[in-house]
Amino acid sequence: MNEHPRPTTVGLLYPGFGAEDDFPQLERRLDGQVRLPLVHTPVGEDAHRVDALLDLGSPERLAEGARQLAGRDLDSVMWACTSGSFVFGWDGAREQVNDVAKIVGLPVSSTSIAFVEAARALGLRRVAVAASYPREVASHFVEFLRRGGVDVASLGSHDILTAAEVGTLGKERVAAMVRAGDVGDAEAVLVPDTAMHSLAWLDDLESAVGKPVLTANQVTVWEGLRIGGGSTRLAGLGSLFRL
């Protein structure tokens, strides 16, 4: 008997605007298998700087969004943000999701944690990172991965300063970033930033480098389904969803 008579439903806390349309487009492609209701959390300054990102992921901003999801018919909740979680460090990212869980009363995770869980699920030990952020910000992601047992063979950073600009990147630009970030001894390429569109292009991105590619929106959906008890075997979403 199916434990979920309705689609698995993952509530998303999404900061501001950028690639939020990735999620309803995925819902339509999957024809009702997954629901991804989204609440926009407030943003102070749209800037890929550590101080601005610490404000973006502050308890007050997350709590404001979490209260909008509380009481809904959800299976899990994701803080759908990479930089606004990894800048808090390994322990701070877990404090974030624990605080949200107290409000919503559901399993909660974040995009940064999802990257580590996805790497573990694929058995990855050494990866390349292709980041939209400036190097100062991206280096915090590298350290976060290393705390999770994932070694980073190379870091490509592209100095894009705002989520709004990242949200304008098309498929060819994203594929070029993935190819530029890849190195031969990396087992996969990781692409942080939930402001970047990717969900419609995952198989093509993997074909571009001939190895798994993990993107922020991809691992966010996968982790939300995993912790919510849903199926993570879905077509057209890369190697991660074929496990």
For residue 2, what pLDDT is reported? 47
**In Å, how far from its chain's centre is CA 126?**
19
- Structure tokens that stand for 216 in this block: 């922020």
- Hey, what amino acid is at 46? D
For residue 132, what pLDDT is reported? 96
For residue 62, what pLDDT is reported? 98
Give the residue extent of every domain in the chain: 8-113+218-237, 122-215
Question: Cα(240)–Cα(228) distance, rounded to whole angstroms?
Answer: 17
Q: How many other C-beta atoms lie within 10 A of the C-beta of residue 168?
A: 14
Q: Domain 8-113+218-237: give its CATH code.
A: 3.40.50.12500
What secondary structure letter does DSSP report for 185? T
For residue 182, what pLDDT is reported? 97
CB 220 within 8 A of CB 116: no
Domain 8-113+218-237 shares a fold with domain 122-215:
yes
Question: Cα(82)–Cα(85) distance, rounded to whole angstroms?
Answer: 5
Q: What is the pTM of this model?
A: 0.96
- Options 3.40.50.1000, 2.30.110.10, 3.40.50.1820, 3.40.50.12500; CATH for 122-215 is 3.40.50.12500
pLDDT tens, position by position, for the chain (243 residues)? 445 468 999 999 999 999 999 999 999 999 989 999 999 999 999 999 999 999 999 999 999 999 999 999 999 999 999 999 999 999 999 999 999 999 999 999 999 999 999 999 999 999 999 999 999 999 999 999 999 999 999 999 999 999 999 999 999 999 999 999 999 999 999 999 999 999 999 999 999 999 999 999 999 999 999 999 999 999 999 999 999
For residue 168, what pLDDT is reported? 97
